[in-house]
């Protein structure tokens, strides 16, 4: 009865806040006063709830953890074994009962995201476990659904173009619409927080970890797209998360495997990196994710930003005025583990200004280290209560205290609808960028270019794609009335594969080559050159970073799709076939190979028919 009363109290606070916000009969000043009063009342009730929590429950609320399995209570035996090995529990329900975690993150590789109904059931099971705790609390359930090359929930969910593709489209309305659709579908399956949008400004073509996950290289353009996506997620009723603060766009080191340094001056940071985060805060962003990067100009101690009080408290909290939830990037990444041990990382992160600790490599070590730090007085209980209050406010804002559950009917009405899929196709058509079209070979005429060969790289597919890019493209051309043959030559084609492609090109009217991150030493260059030598028109399609054109020999035409997901490849096929106009414009500059001071194609460049 005690816990049921606590929940009803929170429901009352939520209702009061909503009622105050919805009352249109009062004056503007009266509405503001009513809103402030309701907010103060809700805060008071949340603080009362926190005061009834045990210290162990308080510490647990700060963690967001992975867990294996498609079910909260009955995962497959292999997932039970993985949970026991990595976490010391069998199931998600046991994880919540033992560690009182405040959130769960879903991954496809953890077998959390098989299909929409299963995901909804898993989410409901997690919420039931949270409400069965000594202090009943709903959980924040999160995932990385950036779209493009980073997707955890695949088809039949609607897959949208990724950030750089949206940047190429240049439409804030499209970005907002994509966020709304993505958020609506995530909400329907019980995922209430998305770790998107990416607010990094990708000014380094060699960036190995951000690249097409960024909207582009222009800080103001990226800021506009970030703000639009935030608004879209807000309409959908889920929390969005701008990442990776203070900006991960200018590095050639992957923070998953090392500790990147960014040598921007304070002035360069203010000009290049901060605008998208400022825009996200102005748009009402619910959470901001930290970066495991060192920026000496922002913290001379050279601590990674995740553990840097000058960056997270001094800049993010005090200078930018942000008072929402701050969540770390995954604590299993090497970038945050390089300088300090795993038992120190959560303590230092809280001291720096973090609220949520995401996916530590060893939860027991991190959880007990933080518990010990509070018991010893290294971190005050008041300090962790500040973070818990922010977390609970977010849960209240999302309506989780009211009703955290979802239904199969709701899934069927929202996920992968015909209208959503059609919108994704339209948005994708706005993003495909035509870079060269020598001799106006494009669009391909079915009369003179009926027989096509599709060759090229077939990298591991993002979640939800139906097949390798060559197969997807060939199928798309077939549906448009062409005779198309697919031949995978890989990201590093051998001489034998190149010879096979040259032989296959004989008698074809055109060859489409999917290229993937072509470097100066890549044999993909040799492949394109050999195909050009056949005399058959060669069209290249950069299926990830748009910089490939600078490394390739002269050929008939070149396009960029910014990802190899089905929606973007189908749109590219329609553009090549003339069923849609190429409307995309480069959101990043393409520099001359071997001389980055020379720009071949500037930001905003793109051809039309």
Q: List active site positions.
A: 256, 329
3-state secondary structure of 444: coil
Give the separation between CA 165 and CA 168, rounded to whole angstroms. Answer: 5
Q: What is the dihedral of CA 335, 464, 107, 189, to 10 degrees?
A: 130
CB contact set of 83 (below 8 Å; sequence gap of 6+)? 67, 68, 69, 75, 89, 90, 91, 94, 95
* Rg of the chain, C-alpha, whole Å: 25
Nearest to 236 by CA among 278, 191, 279, 287: 191
Give the Cα-Cα-Cα angle 591, 595, 601 (nearest 5 degrees): 20
Contact indicator for 347, 379 with CB cutoff of 8 Å: yes
Contact indicator for 223, 171 with CB cutoff of 8 Å: no
Give the separation between CA 101 and CA 112, rounded to whole angstroms. Answer: 17
Nearest to 200 by CA among 234, 232, 246, 264: 246
How far are the Cα atoms of 193, 226, 312 from residue 242, in angstroms, in the given order?
11, 8, 14
Q: Is the dihedral of CA 399, 402, 404, 407 positive or negative?
A: negative
Give the separation between CA 113 and CA 136, rounded to whole angstroms. Answer: 25
How far are the Cα atoms of 118, 214, 454, 489, 573 from residue 564, in angstroms, in the given order?
26, 16, 14, 15, 12
How far, in whole angstroms, is CA 100 from its chain's centroid?
26
């Amino acid at each position: 009865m005690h816990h049921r009363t606590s929940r009803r109290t929170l429901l009352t606070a939520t209702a009061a806040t909503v009622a105050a916000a919805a009352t249109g009969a009062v004056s503007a000043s009266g509405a503001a006063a009513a809103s402030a009063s309701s907010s103060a009342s809700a805060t008071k009730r949340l603080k009362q709830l926190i005061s009834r929590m045990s210290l162990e429950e308080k510490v647990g609320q700060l963690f967001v953890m992975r867990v294996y399995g498609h079910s909260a209570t009955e995962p497959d035996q292999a997932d039970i074994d993985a949970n026991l090995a990595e976490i010391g529990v069998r199931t998600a329900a046991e994880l919540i009962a033992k560690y009182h975690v405040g959130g769960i993150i879903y991954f496809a590789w953890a077998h959390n995201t098989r299909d929409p109904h299963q995901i909804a059931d898993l989410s409901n099971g997690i919420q039931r476990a949270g409400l069965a705790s000594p202090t009943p609390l709903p959980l924040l359930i999160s995932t990385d659904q950036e779209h493009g090359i980073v997707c955890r929930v695949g088809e039949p969910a609607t897959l949208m173009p990724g950030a750089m593709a949206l940047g190429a489209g240049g439409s804030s309305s499209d970005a907002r619409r994509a966020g709304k659709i993505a958020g609506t579908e995530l909400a329907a399956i019980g995922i209430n927080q998305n770790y998107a949008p990416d607010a990094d400004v990708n000014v380094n073509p060699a960036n190995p970890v951000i690249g097409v996950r960024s909207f582009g290289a222009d800080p103001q353009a990226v800021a506009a797209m970030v703000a639009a996506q935030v608004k879209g997620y807000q309409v959908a009723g889920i929390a969005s998360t701008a990442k990776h603060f203070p900006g991960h766009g200018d590095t050639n080191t992957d923070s998953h495997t090392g500790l990147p340094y960014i040598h921007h001056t304070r002035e360069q940071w203010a000009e290049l990196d901060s605008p998208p985060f400022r825009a996200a805060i102005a748009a009402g962003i619910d959470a901001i994710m930290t970066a495991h990067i060192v920026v000496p100009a922002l913290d001379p101690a050279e601590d990674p930003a995740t553990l840097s009080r000058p960056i997270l408290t001094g800049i993010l909290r005090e200078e930018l005025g942000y008072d929402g939830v701050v969540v770390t990037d995954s604590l299993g990444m090497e970038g945050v583990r390089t300088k300090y041990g795993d038992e120190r990382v959560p303590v230092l992160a809280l001291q720096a200004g973090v609220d949520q600790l995401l996916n530590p490599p060893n939860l027991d070590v991190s959880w007990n280290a933080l518990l010990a730090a509070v018991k010893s007085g290294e971190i005050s209980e008041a300090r962790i209560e500040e973070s818990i209050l922010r977390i609970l406010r977010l849960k209240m804002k999302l309506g989780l205290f009211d009703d955290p559950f979802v239904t199969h009917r709701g899934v069927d009405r929202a996920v992968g609808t015909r209208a959503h899929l059609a919108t994704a196709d339209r948005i994708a058509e706005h993003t495909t960028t035509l870079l060269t079209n020598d001799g106006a070979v494009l669009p391909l005429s079915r009369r003179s270019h009926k027989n096509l060969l599709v060759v090229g790289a077939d990298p591991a597919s993002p979640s939800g794609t139906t097949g390798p890019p060559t197969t997807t493209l060939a199928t798309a051309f077939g549906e448009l009335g062409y005779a198309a043959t697919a031949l995978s030559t890989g990201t590093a084609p051998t001489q034998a594969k190149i010879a096979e492609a040259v032989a296959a090109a004989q008698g074809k009217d055109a060859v489409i080559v999917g290229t993937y991150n072509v470097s100066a030493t890549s044999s993909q260059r040799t492949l394109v050159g050999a195909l050009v030598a056949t005399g058959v028109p060669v069209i290249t399609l950069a299926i990830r970073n748009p910089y490939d054109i600078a490394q390739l020999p002269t050929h008939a035409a070149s396009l960029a799709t910014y990802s190899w997901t089905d929606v973007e490849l189908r749109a590219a096929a329609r553009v090549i076939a003339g069923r849609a106009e190429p409307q995309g414009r480069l959101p990043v500059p393409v520099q001359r190979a071997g001389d980055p001071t020379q720009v071949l194609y500037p930001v905003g460049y793109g051809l039309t028919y």
